[in-house]
């Protein structure tokens, strides 16, 4: 059974947390679709792991399935001058122990522009970023 001072502390913390949640409030958000995955032949499908961004505003990510071999892709979404984004498939996974399949998780980008990540099946992956 909690002590009276422990109960007061728990009550104070709960009140503080509730006050914080109430003070944040909901704000209206605008949602823009950057790319519809899996619509065209060879496109990646089931994007996973989140996105990373470079200084030019390009987004990089992975899809768990899809691509030419249906083992997933590494992709880049580049902003276009007239608005919207253009997708470029940087790598199509082939599956197997020498290449990997089903990339997942967040990519890492080094100072030279190389992208690193992991796959659910097969080997660890490495794909070089294309220069813009």
pLDDT in tens, 68-97: 999 999 999 999 998 889 999 999 999 877
pLDDT confidence of 8, banded at 50, 70, 90?
low
Answer for the pair 74, 128: CB distance below 8 angstroms, yes or no. Answer: no
pTM: 0.70
d(CA 70, CA 89): 13
Among the ranges given (13-17, 30-34, 76-80, 108-112), the one the predictor scored with the smallest mean pLDDT? 13-17
d(CA 104, CA 76): 15
d(CA 123, CA 32): 35
The enclosing H or E element of 19 equals helix 4-24
**pLDDT at position 58, please?**
95
Annotated domain spans of the chain: 44-128
Report residue 58 as tokens. Answer: 């390009």
């Amino acid at each position: 059974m909690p002590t009276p001072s422990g109960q007061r502390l728990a009550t104070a913390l709960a009140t503080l947390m509730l006050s914080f949640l109430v003070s944040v409030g909901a704000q209206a958000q605008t949602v823009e679709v950057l790319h519809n995955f899996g619509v065209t032949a060879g496109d990646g499908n089931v994007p996973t792991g989140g996105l990373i961004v470079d200084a030019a505003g390009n987004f990089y990510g992975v899809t768990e399935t899809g691509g030419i071999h249906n083992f997933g892709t590494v992709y880049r979404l580049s902003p276009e001058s007239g608005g919207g984004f253009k997708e470029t498939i940087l790598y199509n996974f082939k599956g197997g122990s020498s290449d990997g399949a089903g990339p997942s998780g967040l990519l890492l980008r080094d100072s030279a522009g190389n992208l690193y990540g992991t796959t659910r099946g097969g080997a660890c992956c490495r794909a070089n970023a294309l220069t813009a």
